[in-house]
Structure 1
Amino acid sequence: MKTFRIASVAAAVLLASAIEVPAIAQSDWKVVKTFPVGGDGGWDYLTVDAASHRLFVPRTTHTQVLDENTGKVLGDIPGQKVAHGVAIAPNAGRGFITDGGGSGAIVIFDLKTYAVLGTLATVPDSDGIIYDAAQDRVLAVSGDGGVLMTFKPDIDPKNGKIDPPIELGGKPEFLAADGTGKIYINLEDKDLVAVVDLQSRSVTSRWPVTPGGHPVGMSLDSRTHRLFVGCRKPQKLIVMSTETGKVLADLPIGVGVDATKVDGALAFASCRDGSLIVAGEKAGKYEVAQTVKTPDGARTMGVDTTAHQIFLPTAEFEPQPAGSTARPKAKPGTFMIVEVAR
């Protein structure tokens, strides 16, 4: 009984002082659930709507809406050629899906009914998309077009036109907004981060991601003014200052990174090889705190920062021939969402 009381007191003290424990020491993340979803199509960026506990998952020609607690399909939005990403604007009651097929488009849908309201003409290879609530703008990039596209979320879904695109001088992959009108965009082919000022609608800086290369995933911690850039060649998680563009740290990660996310004091990088990197800061230095084993192919993710849950889409794959370097083919009907949490 005495031992139990001592352990209980110790646990209570630790809990009460948890805010003082370095985040890197709290890294005990693991796969806690797997939701079999099935259905046709590949997948790309996953978007979490934490307020409604929904996941928005592009599946090539359609976009599924899932309950994040059960994996149940709540809706299915049709009409895309090559769906890439989803942005949601709750105050406008709308969601937006980038369609990189054909001449490029953004599909506008109702957040409650999932009905398609209209389609905006954009630029071919429309890809990464986010909603900047502070500036009340939907922001999307076109890889082949090399531009940033912007528009207000209350745009006329039938006849509206996007703002004149902003030339970036490279092929963008993903982006982040700091809420003050500055947008940070990976230029994968240039190994740079482009900084765009929305007021002047121009690129004001270009920052190298060296010693990383081929930057794809990006997220921003506006509290600490740091970008987390996932690079493929070399494989690095780059920590960069948004104030100076200086690279503050470069951490080793797995093969085939496609997304980075921030939750509190931790940053995450999801990789195709079945590794989820957890990074944190300790004594002013960033370190890899943990590598979580996830299923192969879990290269993108979304984070519910209120519940501290990470959701990664993937599937089972056909066996690869010996020596093959081609992307493995997913087995039909095996699409799933993997949840990682503490």
Structure 2
Amino acid sequence: MRITKLAAIPQVLLFATLAITSAHAQSSWHVERTLQIGGIGGMDYLTVDPATHFLYVPRTTHTLVIDSASGKTVGDIPGQKKAHGVALVPKLNRGFISDGEGSVTIFDLKTNAVLGVLASAPDTDGILYDPGSDHILISAGDSNALITFKPEIDPKSGKIDAPIQLGGAPEFLAADGAGKVYVNLEDKDTVAVVDLKSRSVVARWPVTPGGAPVGMAIDPEHHNLFIGCRKPAKMIVISTATGKVVANQPIGTGVDATGIVGGQAFASSGDGTLTVIDRANSTVVQTVQTARGAKTLGVDTLTGKIYLPTADFEELKPGTTGRPKAKPDSFKILVVSR
């Protein structure tokens, strides 16, 4: 547009137009491409290594390592029974896979060789590495416990720390890097706040008007937790300073994960939507159409791209209910970017 034409537009209208255009540009996320992976197994939490841009993808009995640029599988770590998630500790060249059967597989990040398997607690599930405390942190749902141990642990003979009892069934978790861990208790509609020094729950924060909290991501800049709830389907924002709900927004049904990229937070839902929320004011700025079953996500913190695993599903027969089966060899990963 020529400057002479802009000059004829009233200033108020011009500024409003520029603001709308800027907001749209910042929130115009889309599915850039789809990585067709195939193979056997289910799916759960996806982890991205920003240094290599490799994707670590649990497939129930094994964990794939995928080059996000080419979509090619560059590693396959065997030996799990119910693989859920992966935590990475590059300084030790180690990765950790949580197994719902009650164990943690430790592997070498360069060779993908299994270094050992630790005994854990039943339903070992959500997992992350907290650099602040230098601990691996794991939610164990059926055990109502938080599992912790140092990543330097002996992979063959090491023993995990005594579990921290939470008083409810945990799903996912986040750490503030200063000794506090926040854990969603899905069956209690609360967040348990754990102090790692005392190894105890020091607070319980309701997620009302949300319920059944599952996904969690922490925003250290604004001191907020972004929590994906299923019943009802909402993104709940809780202040880590006060423990109070400061915002809530509707999201898609069947959420399983939340994440943060730049100035925005995201909730991935199984109904095939990715809700984009502004971190500063907690407003919904976009709903991206993804694909049915794309309910978990992984974030590349360097490129800003988001990866969502899913598959093609068979249609349920008329009059039947339940979870549809994935079609054979249809596993795929959607790549979402600006």
Aligned to 2:124: 126
* Residue segments in structure 1 that go unaligned for 5+ positions in a row: 8-17
Residue 3 of structure 1, CA deviation: 3.6
CA, structure 1 residues 4+294, in 2 after alignment: closer, same or farther (shift >3 Å)? Answer: farther
Structure 2 CA distance, aligned partners of 1:226 and 1:24? Answer: 24
Aligned to 1:261: 259
Aligned to 1:316: 312
Aligned to 2:12: none
Aligned to 2:234: 236
Structure 1 CA distance, aligned partners of 2:132 and 2:108? Answer: 21
Structure 1 CA distance, aligned partners of 2:100 and 2:25? Answer: 41
Aligned to 1:215: 213
Residue 5 of structure 1, CA deviation: 11
How high is the TM-score relative to the length of structure 1?
0.92
Secondary structure of the residue that 2:283 maps to in structure 1? strand
Matches within 5 A, 1:50-69: 50-69=50-69
Secondary structure of the residue that 1:76 maps to in structure 2? strand
Answer whether contact 1:239 1:250 (CA < 8 A) is retained: yes
Matches within 5 A, 1:92-103: 92-101=92-101
CA, structure 1 residues 198+34, in 2 after alignment: closer, same or farther (shift >3 Å)? Answer: same
Secondary structure of the residue that 1:186 maps to in structure 2? strand
Aligned to 1:138: 136
Residue 312 of structure 1, CA deviation: 0.3
Runs of 4+ in 1 over 3 A off after TM superposition: 2-7, 21-25
How high is the TM-score relative to the length of structure 2?
0.93
Answer whether contact 1:46 1:313 (CA < 8 A) is retained: yes
What amino acid is the match of 1:295? A
Matches within 5 A, 1:1-342: 3=2, 26-101=26-101, 104-281=102-279, 285-342=281-338
* Residue segments in structure 2 that go unaligned for 5+ positions in a row: 7-17
Secondary structure of the residue that 1:109 maps to in structure 2? strand
CA, structure 1 residues 246+334, in 2 after alignment: closer, same or farther (shift >3 Å)? Answer: same
Structure 1 CA distance, aligned partners of 2:200 and 2:322? Answer: 38
Structure 2 CA distance, aligned partners of 1:58 and 1:296? Answer: 19
Structure 2 CA distance, aligned partners of 1:96 and 1:79? Answer: 13
Residue 325 of structure 1, CA deviation: 2.9
Aligned to 1:11: none
Structure 1 CA distance, aligned partners of 2:320 and 2:28? Answer: 34
Residue 70 of structure 1, CA deviation: 1.6
Structure 1 CA distance, aligned partners of 2:192 and 2:219? Answer: 17
Structure 2 CA distance, aligned partners of 1:204 and 1:47? Answer: 29
Secondary structure of the residue that 1:286 maps to in structure 2? coil
Structure 1 CA distance, aligned partners of 2:117 and 2:60? Answer: 16
Residue 135 of structure 1, CA deviation: 1.2
What amino acid is the match of 1:163? D
What amino acid is the match of 1:237? M
Secondary structure of the residue that 2:314 maps to in structure 1? coil
Secondary structure of the residue that 2:282 maps to in structure 1? strand
Secondary structure of the residue that 1:91 maps to in structure 2? helix
Structure 2 CA distance, aligned partners of 1:66 and 1:6? Answer: 51
Aligned to 1:14: none
CA, structure 1 residues 24+259, in 2 after alignment: closer, same or farther (shift >3 Å)? Answer: farther
Farther off after superposition, 287-296 or 323-332: 323-332
Structure 2 CA distance, aligned partners of 1:204 and 1:323? Answer: 47
Residue 141 of structure 1, CA deviation: 1.1
Secondary structure of the residue that 2:91 maps to in structure 1? helix
Aligned to 2:14: none
Structure 1 CA distance, aligned partners of 2:324 and 2:239? Answer: 36
CA, structure 1 residues 22+218, in 2 after alignment: closer, same or farther (shift >3 Å)? Answer: farther
What amino acid is the match of 1:290? Q
Structure 1 CA distance, aligned partners of 2:80 and 2:177? Answer: 30
Answer whether contact 1:303 1:310 (CA < 8 A) is retained: yes
What amino acid is the match of 2:155? P
CA, structure 1 residues 107+285, in 2 after alignment: closer, same or farther (shift >3 Å)? Answer: same
Answer whether contact 1:23 1:280 (CA < 8 A) is retained: no
CA, structure 1 residues 24+246, in 2 after alignment: closer, same or farther (shift >3 Å)? Answer: farther
Residue 56 of structure 1, CA deviation: 0.3
How many pairs does the alignment contain? 325
1:54-75, CA deviations, whole angstroms, 9 ceiling, x for partnerless residues?
A: 1000000000000111211010
CA, structure 1 residues 123+203, in 2 after alignment: closer, same or farther (shift >3 Å)? Answer: same
Structure 2 CA distance, aligned partners of 1:254 and 1:164? Answer: 37
Structure 2 CA distance, aligned partners of 1:341 and 1:259? Answer: 17
Secondary structure of the residue that 1:255 maps to in structure 2? coil
RMSD: 1.8
CA, structure 1 residues 246+270, in 2 after alignment: closer, same or farther (shift >3 Å)? Answer: same
